[in-house]
């Protein structure tokens, strides 16, 4: 059992857990404790130090978007993101829920709204009190600075008028070149004096502005509390609407009742009245068909965007691997082919993903001039959506594959295939000559040699290249989605940057960790695959 655990740890590239297992089995406790301290405790302490330094420095640096979010604010932003997803999912379920569940939702919403009323009033009063306290504190700090600024401004205005009057009198009394030289020197002195005074009162003005722009922590906390209560109340009122008159069952019942009324009137109608009622009846039938398919227009939430980004990066990655592996095999088998490919590798490998995205976006757009009415895209979506719905456990029902998605995936391909190509070529070219000699003795044909000797021998390096390619692809994808406005993590970051919300900076900081964690998981997956095809027992990860 112990060795199976060691094998699993080794395959997953998580060798830092080995001393923990050995300690549990009582093997050299002192050595295992030392290794645990080195490989587990030290990284944890380093991360805690990072969090501490971040928390210390963040509030001390102010940008035009406010202070840099602290770890606590970033964690709160992450909670807000998850809450938004949960609430939107609840709305989606409420509109199609059966009557008993909708009744329970309405009762809960009524009770919770009643509880929220005094809390909202208290939060509003807290914001008002915090604003008053902030104003009082700022006025107290600004008062001496404002007095100093007014005095400096008054001295500047009075001194400038006085000296300009003197200069005007001196200009009128000019008689010689010496007088003109003296006037020039006096004017230069006045200009220097004015610059000095301006700098002095502008410095004080900047100090006043800095104080005015400071965000009081108590006020921010009060506003956040009020916002949370207001958002919850808005959510509950929307739930009441979706579980009540706007639910699918209620709207269908209402449409059926209206249709029955029209049918009853139509049964005894004649002439123009019959024609009018026939039109109304047809219109109502169509409305009833729509109501029976009625769903909540759920916006894209972060978990949905995560699923779409992962699917997009794997789409681009697999396309890249499908191109890179055959080309790499040919490069490894033929020096002539390698010589032919080298200029292309050297030329296209350094190209920026932004350039590839723009080129591919234009090319893909040419294939789909009207994406909304493209039979190809409709077919792809119908095939892919059922698979993605199962894999994502129902998080995403419609992946919405469109030109932006295809352009982003192809950008990932073009930027990530090079590592796989070069590693495949190296792996194929490094196959031991003895293996080829055995193949000749066994009289194996080309395809047998390729699939029984060349590719198995090259697989460790091929998967090493694929691991690098997937990491590159994940980095490229975020930028591609941001520029292409393709629903995914990149678009989420761009939306947060553009919307100007006071919490946007914290949301973007939270995305740093989301992207990092997903990248780490993808890397671990590739390590497992790499280790499963490695024969030398070498370490697959650091």
Domain ranges of the chain: 1-60, 99-229, 302-533
Do the bridges between strand 62-63 and strand 66-67 make them parallel or antiparallel, or are there none, so unpaired? antiparallel
Cα 437 to Cα 430, 433, 449, 499, distances in angstroms: 14, 6, 11, 66
Work out the mean pLDDT of the chain and round it to a whole number: 87
Strand partners for 67: 62
Cα 350 to Cα 269, 323, 347, distances in angstroms: 76, 18, 7
| Contact by Cβ (8 Å): 355, 480 | no
* Residue 500 reports pLDDT greater than 70: no
What integer is the mean pLDDT of 144-149?
Answer: 88
What integer is the mean pLDDT of 184-211?
Answer: 84
pLDDT tens-digit map of 370-415 = 888 888 888 888 888 877 776 777 778 788 888 999 999 999 999 9
CA-based torsion, 302, 306, 308, 313: positive or negative: positive
* Residue 501 reports pLDDT greater than 80: no
Closest of 453, 419, 425, 387 to residue 526, by C-alpha: 419
H runs (alpha helix) in 334-443? 335-348, 353-367, 375-391, 403-429, 433-441
Binned at pLDDT 50, 70 and 90, residue 176 comes out as confident
Give the three-state DSSP class for 446.
helix
Q: Which two tokens stand for residue 287?
A: 């409305």
Q: What is the pLDDT of residue 111?
A: 93
| Contact by Cβ (8 Å): 428, 331 | yes
Binned at pLDDT 50, 70 and 90, residue 438 comes out as confident
Binned at pLDDT 50, 70 and 90, residue 489 comes out as very high
- Over the Cα atoms of the chain, what is R_g? 35
pLDDT tens-digit map of 33-66 = 998 998 899 999 999 999 999 999 988 887 776 6
Strand partners for 341: none
Q: What is the DSSP string of 89-143?
A: HHHHHHTT--HHHHHHHHHHHHHHHHHHHHHHHHHHHHHHHHHHHHHHHHHHHHH
* Residue 497 reports pLDDT greater than 80: yes
Q: Is CATH 1.10.287 correct for 99-229?
A: yes
Binned at pLDDT 50, 70 and 90, residue 498 comes out as confident
What integer is the mean pLDDT of 191-210?
Answer: 84
Q: Residue 451 has what DSSP assignment?
A: I
Report the C-alpha gap between 19 and 36 in whole angstroms: 6
* Residue 542 reports pLDDT greater than 50: no
Name the pTM for this structure: 0.81
Q: What is the pLDDT of residue 535?
A: 60
Report the C-alpha gap between 416 and 321 in whole angstroms: 9
Q: What is the pLDDT of residue 474?
A: 94
**Percent of the residues in the chain that have a pLDDT greater than 70, as a whole number:** 96
Q: What is the pLDDT of residue 59?
A: 83
Q: What is the pLDDT of residue 538?
A: 44
Q: Residue 370 has what DSSP assignment?
A: S
Report the C-alpha gap between 377 and 369 in whole angstroms: 12
Q: What is the pLDDT of residue 58?
A: 87
Strand partners for 63: 66
Report the C-alpha gap between 247 and 240 in whole angstroms: 9
* Residue 177 reports pLDDT greater than 90: no
Q: How many of the other CB atoms lie within 10 Å of CB of 387? A: 11
**Percent of the residues in the chain that have a pLDDT greater than 90, as a whole number:** 38
User: End-to-end alpha-carbon separation of the chain, Å?
Assistant: 25
Closest of 279, 359, 330 to residue 446, by C-alpha: 330
Residue at token pair 């108590």: 218
| Contact by Cβ (8 Å): 255, 287 | yes
| Contact by Cβ (8 Å): 401, 380 | yes
Give the three-state DSSP class for 68.
coil
Q: What is the pLDDT of residue 78?
A: 92
What integer is the mean pLDDT of 158-185?
Answer: 80
* Residue 265 reports pLDDT greater than 70: yes
Q: What is the pLDDT of residue 539?
A: 42
Report the C-alpha gap between 540 and 460 in whole angstroms: 10
CATH of 302-533, picked from 3.40.50.1100, 1.10.3720.10, 3.40.50.300, 1.25.40.10, is: 1.10.3720.10
Cα 170–chain centre separation: 67
Q: What is the DSSP string of 157-179?
A: HHHHHHHHHHHHHHHHT--SHHH
Q: What is the pLDDT of residue 540?
A: 42
């Amino acid at each position: 059992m112990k060795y199976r655990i060691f094998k699993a740890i080794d395959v997953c590239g998580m060798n830092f857990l080995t001393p923990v297992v050995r300690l549990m089995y009582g093997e050299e406790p002192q050595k295992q404790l030392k290794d645990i301290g080195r490989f587990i405790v030290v990284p944890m302490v380093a991360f805690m130090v990072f969090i501490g330094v971040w928390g210390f420095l963040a509030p001390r640096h102010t940008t035009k978007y406010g202070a840099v979010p602290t770890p606590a604010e970033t964690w709160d932003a992450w909670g807000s993101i998850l809450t938004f997803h949960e609430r939107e999912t609840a709305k989606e379920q409420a509109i199609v829920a059966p009557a008993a569940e909708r009744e329970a939702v309405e009762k809960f919403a009524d009770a919770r709204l009643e509880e929220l009323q005094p809390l909202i009033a208290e939060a509003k009063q807290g914001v008002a009190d915090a604003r008053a306290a902030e104003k009082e504190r700022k006025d107290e700090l600004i008062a001496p600075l404002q007095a100093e600024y007014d005095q400096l401004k008054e001295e500047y205005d009075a001194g400038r008028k006085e000296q300009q009057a003197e200069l005007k009198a001196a200009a009128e009394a000019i008689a010689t070149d010496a007088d003109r030289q003296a006037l020039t020197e006096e004017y230069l002195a006045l200009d220097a004096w004015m610059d000095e005074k301006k700098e002095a009162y502008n410095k004080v003005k900047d100090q006043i502005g800095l104080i005015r722009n400071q965000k009081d922590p108590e006020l921010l906390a009060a506003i956040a509390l009020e916002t949370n209560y207001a958002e919850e109340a808005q959510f509950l009122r929307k739930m009441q609407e979706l579980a009540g008159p706007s639910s699918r069952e209620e709207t269908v019942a209402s449409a059926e009742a209206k249709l029955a009324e029209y049918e009853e009137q139509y049964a005894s109608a004649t002439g123009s009245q019959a024609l009018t009622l026939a039109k109304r009846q047809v219109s109502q039938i169509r409305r009833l068909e729509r109501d029976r398919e009625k769903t909540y227009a759920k916006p894209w939430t972060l978990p949905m965007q995560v699923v779409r980004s992962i699917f997009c990066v794997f789409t681009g990655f697999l396309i890249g691997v499908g191109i890179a592996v055959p080309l790499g095999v040919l490069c490894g088998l033929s020096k002539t082919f390698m010589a032919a490919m080298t200029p292309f590798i050297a030329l296209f490998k350094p190209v920026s993903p932004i350039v590839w995205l723009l080129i591919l976006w234009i090319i893909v757009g040419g294939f789909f001039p009207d994406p909304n009415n493209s039979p190809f895209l409709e077919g792809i979506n119908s095939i892919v959506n059922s698979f993605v719905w199962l894999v994502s456990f129902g998080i995403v029902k419609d992946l919405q594959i469109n030109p932006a998605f295809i352009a982003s995936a192809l950008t990932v391909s073009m930027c990530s295939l090079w590592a796989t190509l070069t590693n495949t070529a190296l792996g194929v070219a490094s196959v031991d000559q003895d293996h080829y000699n055995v193949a000749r003795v066994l009289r194996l044909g080309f395809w047998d040699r390729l699939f029984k000797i060349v590719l198995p021998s090259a697989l460790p390096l091929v998967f090493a290249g694929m691991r690098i390619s997937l990491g590159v692809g994940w980095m490229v994808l975020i930028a591609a989605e941001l520029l292409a406005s393709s629903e995914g993590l990149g678009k989420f970051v761009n939306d947060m940057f553009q919307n100007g919300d006071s919490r946007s900076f914290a949301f973007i900081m939270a995305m740093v960790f989301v992207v990092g964690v997903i990248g780490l998981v993808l890397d671990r997956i590739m390590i497992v695959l790499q280790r499963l095809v490695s024969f030398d027992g070498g370490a697959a990860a650091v």
